[in-house]
Amino acid sequence: MKKKVVVVGNGMVGYKFCEKLVSKGGNEQFDIIVFGEEPRPAYDRVHLSAYFGEKTIAELTMAPLEWYSENQIQLYLSDPVTNIDRKKKIINTHQGISLNYDYLILATGSAPFVPPIPGVEKDGVFVYRTIEDLDMMKSHAAKSKIGAVIGGGLLGLEAAKALLDLGITDAHVIEFAPRLMPKQIDQAGSDILKSKLNALGIKIHCNKNTQEISGEDSIEKMVFADGETLKVDMLVISAGIKPRDELAKIAGLEVGSRGGILVNNKLQTSDESIFAIGECALHEHMIYGLVAPGYEMADIVASELMGNATKEFTGFDMSTKLKLIGVDVASFGNAFAEEPDCQTIIYENKTKGVYKRINISNDNKYLLGGILVGDAEQYNMLLQTVNNKLPIPADAEDLILGSRGGESGGESGVMSLPDEALICSCEAITKGQICHEVIENGNDTVDALKKSTKACTGCGGCTPMVKDLIQGILKSQGKVVRNVLCEHFDHTRQELLSLVKIKNLKTYDDVLEDLGHGDGCEICKPAVASILASLWNENVLEKGRLTAQDSNDRFLANIQRGGTYSVVPRIPGGEITPEKLIAIGEVAQKYGLYTKITGGQRIDMFGAHVGDLPAIWEELIAAGFESGQAYGKSLRTVKSCVGTTWCRFGVQDAVSFAIEVENRYKGLRSPHKLKSAVSGCIRECAEAQSKDFGIIATEKGWNLYVCGNGGSKPRHAELLATDVSSEMCLKLIDRFLMFYIKTAEPLQRTAPWLDKMEGGLAYLKSVVIDDSLGLNAQFEADMDALVDSYKCEWKEAVETPEIRKRFVHFVNAPEEKDPTVKFEPLREQIKAEDWNAVLK
């Protein structure tokens, strides 16, 4: 007769235990019975915010009901266990079921911690935990304008994203601590994260203690301990979790003084027949609030019951990488180590919103830990470097800055890891296991590995490293590697571009229906949007293209601090007439905008309300200006010196040629932004050798340089051609840009594109100069077609009522401006106030 295993709780960890037990043959040895208090089977809480628009309940569900029956698991929903008789080994449920057990698995998870704030029971106050919570939030958000979240940790920032997804444009995060995510990042990292969130329209208030939630029956205002208040009509509390240990307490199991069911290294409670896993378990004074340690616990208990346990639970690495509202945040190893116990290297770029910190052992041999905000591309290899005690470069800063000629990590980095290196922490999958699956079993795609090992199915953070590992293995076997766009398209970006062109597809939905599957994701939507724009040069806001765009493209403007927008008209070559200067001055004065000369020889205007953008652009267009495309993955500027127009050292007319170049390529959409420059002599005042394509005058014509860039990883451009005429220079640029557009990866700038090109500059020259592929005539024709079809996006937006009406802050009150936008004086102009300053 089979023994009975009863699982109390059907969340992610409870489900994972069942899956692990079944995979080990447990359904043949045990009767498995599961009780869940929610009305539906387990679903993915890690990606819960995707319920607001990206995914359905069915897509979030870990496994359908059929899975339980197919695996002989008896599942009871909406029926929580209410009592445990440990002496008789019997559980009782809310619905009156009484059932004996041989082993009991407590996977009761956690509940939201709700601070005892007066008024917390008012209508409009929510917790962020279940699908039902989200459904209630959806309903209330339809009649709300101002939303706030109490809690600036992981869950709190996810809840803030939920507010944005619900259409709450005036969103606030209230954090008691002096910084965001205090358990993961330091103050400097928090400041960068705060600025990134501010740019997205989320106001951050740290060091705030909520004393009261006031209003009649519904929430109207939050009152803080410092006397300040915040008007709000919707509040989400996400201030942490508390373990669900009430059932254990009733049963007389040992619990911690601050909650949590005490367990040993086998995850046994004080009753050896009862195990606790996930967020309800307290191991060595630690509650683990991430999914990966819960999955590890589930696997250990399943092995223990099957009698083949090979390991115990001795703690878990809490390193983590997340994308919070589109912002990368990661911490790993000993993130907070301080001198003199270590050496700390910090890179900070406030303009780009990037912060990187690594802690190095004092003997310069080992990486101890670190923090990444704004750019966490190197996270996986940095984590592996810590966990496997890998040697670090002589110049340790190369770990975060990269070295000339290539990035640290990638395929070569992951291939150098030992076989026991843990690649997928959620499912405890090692490099050796993945290599075995790829080499021995032929599972050489991410989708195949998901099915065979469950790698990449948890938080998804290991996916880039798994892809690199697959590619490294296949290359070592001499096989061709196809780097498909994402799980929704079985094509590379290059293949997709060609197919979209052949099939004449014009919208994202058309591309997905014809060439993809599923609903799409944050990877393929902007990539396909970029392909469509590069091919057809049609307005990005028309014909169903809006939903696939990045946030800045949706408003044809960069979203700036304080919830305002920037206005950047194109000024080709930096040349501007007095009349146009006056026009810019009059517009800036009329709409109260801050003005600044940029490094790209343009004039930026900051502080515009979204509702004013069409009117501002209407006046600028009337004065002869066009969109400067500062918001797009497209040509930004062609910088120039004055050349022979004024300079006594100039040998060519740099201004005229810069204007010709900019007017030719303006509006050109590409995988990443493009910058250019024209210098009138070798003195290089326009800094052409730091651009994606730069032109330097010679006595005989022009030298053309390509694939340089500034930014966080500056790289000099390389010489492509010398002493060419203006006409030939443009032909070479046409070919170069079209080759780049057709072959680059999504969001890949020209410098890394060339670095990863097999054959490098020599091959690039063979293509665009020697026509080794026989495509130059096609490249030139394609560029001519794009140039001929150019239209100013803002002119179309101003003149098209359907597009113009999108530029409002309140849909139901289009004339009203954002009341939270405030300004303060700055050197005879104004700037947007920091969000902390607008609390009332």
**Where in the chain are the domains?**
3-110+243-306, 125-239, 409-481, 493-549, 635-791
Quote the distance between the C-alpha of residue 783 and its chain's center: 32
Question: What is the Cα Rg of the chain in Å?
Answer: 29
DSSP state of 196: H
Judged by DSSP in three states, 639 sits in strand
Average pLDDT estimate for 261-289: 96
Q: List helix spans (H) across 744-821.
A: 750-755, 760-768, 776-788, 793-799, 801-804
Phi, psi of 437 (to 5 degrees): -65, -40
Q: Residue 549 pLDDT > 90, yes or no?
A: no
- Extract the annotated binding site: 641, 647, 681, 685
Q: In the CATH hierarchy, which fold is given to the domain comprising 3-110+243-306?
A: FAD/NAD(P)-binding domain (3.50.50)
Q: Residue 218 pLDDT > 90, yes or no?
A: yes
pLDDT per position as a tens digit, 450-476: 889 988 887 777 888 898 899 889 888
> Which has more confidence, 820 or 695?
695
Q: Band of the pLDDT at 405, cuts 50, 70, 90?
A: very low
Q: What does the block give as tokens for 377?
A: 């591309």
Handedness of CA 367, 368, 372, 376 (dihedral sign): positive
Distance CA 368, CA 336 (A): 10
Q: Residue 662 pLDDT > 60, yes or no?
A: yes
Q: Residue 766 pLDDT > 80, yes or no?
A: yes
CA dihedral 90, 91, 92, 95 (to 10 degrees): -130
The DSSP result for 559-624, as a single string, is: B-GGG-EEE-B--GGG---HHHHHHHHHHHHHHT-EEEE-TTS-EEEEEE-GGGHHHHHHHHHHTT
Q: Residue 838 pLDDT > 90, yes or no?
A: no
DSSP state of 37: S
Q: Find which of 137-151, 411-425, 562-576 is predicted with most confidence, using mean pLDDT.
A: 137-151
Q: In the CATH hierarchy, which fold is given to the domain comprising 635-791?
A: Sulfite Reductase Hemoprotein; domain 1 (3.30.413)
Q: Residue 644 pLDDT > 60, yes or no?
A: yes
Q: Band of the pLDDT at 1, cuts 50, 70, 90?
A: confident
Distance CA 558, CA 592 (A): 17
User: Bridge partners of 702?
Assistant: 697, 724
The DSSP result for 93-145, as a single string, is: ETTS-EEE-SEEEE---EEE-----TTTTSBTEEE-SSHHHHHHHHHHHTT-S
Strands 327-333 and 320-324: antiparallel
pLDDT per position as a tens digit, 587-641: 999 999 999 998 888 999 999 998 999 999 999 999 999 999 998 999 999 999 9
Of 205-214, 531-540, 570-579, minimum mean pLDDT range: 531-540
Which uninterrupted H or E stretch holds 486?
A: none
Phi, psi of 351 (to 5 degrees): -65, -45
Amino acid at 416: S
The pLDDT assigned to 267 comes to 98
- Extract the annotated binding site for [4Fe-4S] cluster: 641, 647, 681, 685
- Extract the annotated binding site for siroheme: 685
Within this chain, domains 3-110+243-306 and 409-481 share the same CATH topology: no
CB neighbour list of residue 711: distance below 8 Å, 6 or more residues apart: 352
The pLDDT assigned to 244 comes to 96
On whether the CB atoms of residues 217 and 122 are closer than 8 A, the answer is: yes
> Which has more confidence, 484 or 26?
26
The pLDDT assigned to 839 comes to 43
The pLDDT assigned to 404 comes to 38
> Which has more confidence, 800 or 49?
800
The pLDDT assigned to 821 comes to 83
Report the percent of the chain where pLDDT is more than 90: 63
> Which has more confidence, 74 or 166?
74
Q: Residue 412 pLDDT > 70, yes or no?
A: no
The pLDDT assigned to 166 comes to 86
> Which has more confidence, 559 or 68?
68
Is the previous residue joined to 340 through a cis bond, with omega within 30 degrees of 0?
yes
Judged by DSSP in three states, 796 sits in helix
Strands 829-832 and 823-826: antiparallel
On whether the CB atoms of residues 94 and 235 are closer than 8 A, the answer is: no
Q: Band of the pLDDT at 481, cuts 50, 70, 90?
A: low
pLDDT per position as a tens digit, 503-524: 999 888 899 999 998 888 878 8
Q: Residue 758 pLDDT > 90, yes or no?
A: no
On whether the CB atoms of residues 541 and 550 are closer than 8 A, the answer is: no
Q: Residue 54 pLDDT > 80, yes or no?
A: no
Distance CA 818, CA 835 (A): 13
Q: Band of the pLDDT at 834, cuts 50, 70, 90?
A: low
Task: Find the length of the chain.
Answer: 840
User: Bridge partners of 75?
Assistant: 34
Distance CA 751, CA 817 (A): 42
pLDDT per position as a tens digit, 83-136: 999 999 999 999 999 999 999 999 999 999 999 999 999 999 999 889 999 999
CATH number at 409-481: 1.10.10.1100
The pLDDT assigned to 514 comes to 92
Report the percent of the chain where pLDDT is more than 70: 96
pLDDT per position as a tens digit, 172-188: 999 999 999 998 999 99
> Up-side HSE of residue 6: CA atoms within 13 Å toward CB?
21
pTM: 0.63
On whether the CB atoms of residues 673 and 710 are closer than 8 A, the answer is: no
Strands 170-174 and 202-205: parallel
| Residue in the structure block whose two tokens are 């004055």 | 642
Average pLDDT estimate for 266-273: 97
CATH number at 125-239: 3.50.50.60
Which uninterrupted H or E stretch holds 90?
A: strand 90-93
Of 203-212, 310-319, 547-556, 732-741, minimum mean pLDDT range: 547-556
Q: What does the block give as tokens for 322?
A: 């997340």
Handedness of CA 702, 706, 710, 711 (dihedral sign): positive
On whether the CB atoms of residues 637 and 662 are closer than 8 A, the answer is: yes
DSSP state of 322: E
On whether the CB atoms of residues 476 and 450 are closer than 8 A, the answer is: no
Task: Report the candidate in 692, 664, 665 with the shortest Cα–Cα distance to residue 676.
Answer: 692
pLDDT per position as a tens digit, 220-260: 999 999 999 999 999 999 988 999 999 999 999 999 999 99
Which uninterrupted H or E stretch holds 126?
A: strand 125-127
Of 389-398, 400-409, 491-500, 761-770, minimum mean pLDDT range: 400-409
Output the average pLDDT for the chain.
90
